[in-house]
Every structure is written in structure tokens, then in C-alpha cells.
Amino acid sequence: MPKNTPSFSKKLISWYLHNKRELPWRGTKNPYHIWLSEIMLQQTRVAQGLPYYLKFIENYPTVQQLAHAPEDAVLKLWQGLGYYSRARNLHATAKMVSKDLKGVFPKTYKDLLQLKGVGDYTASAIASICYNLPEAVVDGNVYRVLSRYFGISTPINSSAGQKEFKKLAQLVIDTNEPGTYNQAIMEFGARFCVPQNPNCGNCIFNDSCEAYKSNKVSELPVKLKSKAVRKRFFNYMVIISEDEKTLLQQRLGKGIWHKLYEFPLIETSEEVTLSELKKLPQFQKFSENMEIESISLYNETPIVHKLSHQHLLTRFWIVTSKKEVKNLIPISEIFKYAVPVLIENFVSEFFEGS
């Protein structure tokens, strides 16, 4: 189909060799390092993931050391990076590779795909970068570059689009150096063929890019709109005991922040007053083994914590207690627990200097 495919991949690789960023996971084929970086960079910018990559390599230099770490420690190190199932799957896969595979990562696309947290993109990335296999990656950058260069308007988040772009990516990959090619097209998308206002006038492809020729660069790629975000109302009960302790609970159900810690949470369907809060069954349960001395609202205006798919309108209630409550932890030890950024921000603000 694409008649200038060789030129496309060659120019891409040439651009890459002259313009690539030097990153810690470049220039190595160590599958542990590549795997770790690829998991971290899922839906995550290089600038955001980089410090986490360095922390993980420093704390866990080998897959065996990661495997032997407690899950809580892995989650704590992952704290702030989001999409925490990645951290749980990372740890599970480390244990699997360490025990069942004696520390040796799978060496084919098909076998890599069996690992928890490794999908089409990540299996292709590891296979091509570590083992020189001609497996084309398709990430957000690849969608953008291919849709523009070839002028394809199939929505990238439709199943038809995913198939079409995967097939095209596999067609144009440079099979002689697939790892370099895959990184080249992603780097090109991340650094030059950017979503907004790309510098097409200076682009190496401005003589062959279909979108540029037809003045449709700003319209590609096409993406179906997702539905509106859900609003949720969170009331966090921050217990302060006389001996400077508080209560944290681990989230164990389905949903966001699985296995992270937070203050006791009372979720409501709307913003509530203190008297309304006190009437709720969840509040009764919360306070049943306590002798509450006082409750005061820390923030009248809810803190809006925005996730990609829901907005959390959050208010913190400060609860002082006379009677000893069970399972309290010293406030000075909150930092040992993996908590959502929403909680971390409150803790650092509220307990600052105390």
C-alpha cells in the first residue's frame, strides 16, 4: 500500500539518531530495565515517569529484588504516578519471572503478552528493543504520526481503528532494526509531530505527509469523545487523638486507589452539612467505638481532585477524640503508607510543621 515506506522508516530513524533524548533506558537491552520503563510510561509522560524509574532501579536493581519486596513498599514507591494496577501487576510479574522463570524474561511477543500488565504495546516494545523482533508498537504517538502521514481518519479509539493502525504499523516497520524504528516513531510523535501546533514547515515529511498536503493536520488523529466524568462527594474523617495519632484505612474494594491508604471515608451523593453527615449510617458506624470530642470542617469549599474519569469533591472533617480508638497510628508515621495524591496533599498542608 504505502509506496514510500522505505523512505518513511529510514527518514524516521535518521531523524531519531540526530534528535533523540538520552534517557536511562536507552542504550540497554536489559529486559528488566526495558520492561520497567515501558510499564511506567504507559499513559505517562517521560518527564513524569523518569524520577520513578530512577527510584525503582536504585531500590530494586534486579527483578529478583523487586520480587522479594513487600507489595506495600512497591506501592509506596509508585505513589503519585497513578494507575496503581500497574504497580500491583509489576510486582506480581516480578514474582512470577523470579520464581517460575528463574529470573529470565520471556523472549517472544506471544510469551511476553502472558505477563500481567503487558499488553500488545508493551510486548511489542520489549520484543523489538530487547530481542530485535519485528513487532510494531502502536501507542498514542504512533497513532498520531501514522494517521497524519497516511491521512487516515478512522477513529483511533474504535476497534476498527486499532486493527487498521496495528496492521499499518506492522507494514511500515523497519524489520532490520525494529527496536530503533519503534523508538524513532514514538520519539518523533512525542517531540515533533505533537498534538497541538506541530512545526510542519520544518518537518522532514512536509513533502509527503498526506495531512499536511490536504491541510488536515489539526484534524488528525480522529478520536471518539468519551462520556462525561462522574462527580463524587468525599468526606474524609481525620481523627486526631490526644496523643497525636490518627486512623488510616486501606482501600480493598473495587475501584480507584486499590490497596492504597486513606482516612476513613464517608461518600455522599451531594455535599452535606455536619448535621446531615451525623445522621448517616456510615457516620454511625464510623463513630460507634469512639467518644467524639469535636468535629470541625477543615475546608468549606471542596477540594476538587480530578481523575481522568471522575471528579472527587472532597472535604476533610477534623475529629478530635477523648477515648482511645483502636488501630491508630502516629501522625508522624503517615508518610510510611502509600496514599493517593489527594491525601498526600492534605497531609503535607494540614500537618505542616506539627
Query: Judged by CB under 7 A, which of 96, 256, 272, 328 binds DNA?
Result: 256
Q: How far, rounded to the nearest angstrom, does the alpha carbon of residue 64 sit from its chain's CA centroid?
A: 23
Report if residue 341 touches DNA, rule: CB under 7 A. yes
Q: Among residues 7, 14, 30, 43, which is the contact residue for DNA, using CB under 7 A? A: 43
* Site for DNA, residues 149 to 188, rule: CB under 7 A: 158-160, 183, 186-187
141 or 246, CB closer to DNA? 141
Judged by CB under 7 A, which of 72, 111, 120, 177 binds DNA? Answer: 120
Of 66-74, 119-127, 204-212, 263-271, which part binds DNA (CB under 7 A)? 119-127
Q: How far is the CB of 172 from DNA (least distance, A)?
A: 17
CB of 164 to DNA, least distance (A): 12
DSSP state of 203: -
Q: How far apart are CA 256 and CA 136, in angstroms?
A: 31
Site membership for DNA, residue 117 (CB under 7 A): yes
Nearer to DNA, 106 or 189 (CB): 189
Give the Cα separation of 106 and 129 in Å (integer): 13
Tell me: does residue 223 bind DNA (CB under 7 A): yes
User: What are the φ and ψ backbone dihedral angles of 161, each rounded to 5 degrees?
Assistant: -65, -40
Q: What residues numbered 87-116 form the site for DNA, per CB under 7 A?
A: 89, 116
* Best CA proximity match to 306, nearest among 229, 251, 252, 225: 229
The H or E element that residue 316 is part of is strand 310-321
Please pick, among 38, 164, 187, 262, the residue that the annotation labels catalytic: 38
Q: Is position 189 an interface residue for DNA (rule: CB under 7 A)?
A: yes
- Using CB under 7 A as the binding rule, whether residue 70 contacts DNA is answered as no
Piece of 58-66, 164-172, 207-215, 256-264 that binds DNA (CB under 7 A): 256-264
| Number of other CB atoms surrounding residue 13 within 10 Å | 19
For the record, the C-alpha cell of 240 comes out as 486526631
- Tell the residue number behind the cell numbers 535518521, with chain if given: 14
Among 14, 65, 294, 310, binds DNA (CB under 7 A): 310
* Cα 17 from Cα 15, distance rounded (Å): 6
The whole-angstrom separation of Cα 115 and Cα 131 is 17
- Cα 64 from Cα 150, distance rounded (Å): 44
Q: Which of 45, 207, 273, 281 binds DNA (CB under 7 A)?
A: 45
Residue 149 neighbours by CB distance under 10 Å: 25
* 47 binds DNA per the rule CB under 7 A: yes
Q: Quick check: 176 and 128 in contact, CB under 8 A? A: no
Find the binding residues for DNA in span 2-31 (CB under 7 A).
Answer: 23, 25-26
**Cell numbers for 326:** 483502636
Q: Which of 220, 131, 216, 145 is nearest to 187 (CA)?
A: 145
- The answer to the question of residue 118 lying near DNA (CB under 7 A) is yes
Binding of DNA by 354 (CB under 7 A): no
Q: Spell out the residues 6+ positions from residue 138 whose beta carbon is closer than 8 angstroms to its own.
A: 120, 121, 124, 162, 165, 166, 169
Active site residue 38: yes
Quick one: which of 321, 316, 320, 304 has its CA closest to 274? 316
How far apart are CB 294 and DNA at their closest, in Å? 29
- Shorter beta-carbon distance to DNA: residue 125 or 240: 125
Positions in the binding site for DNA (CB under 7 A): 23, 25-26, 37-38, 41-48, 80-85, 89, 116-123, 125, 139-141, 143-144, 158-160, 183, 186-187, 189-190, 195-197, 221, 223, 225-227, 230, 254-258, 305-310, 340-342
User: What are the residue numbers of the active site?
Assistant: 38
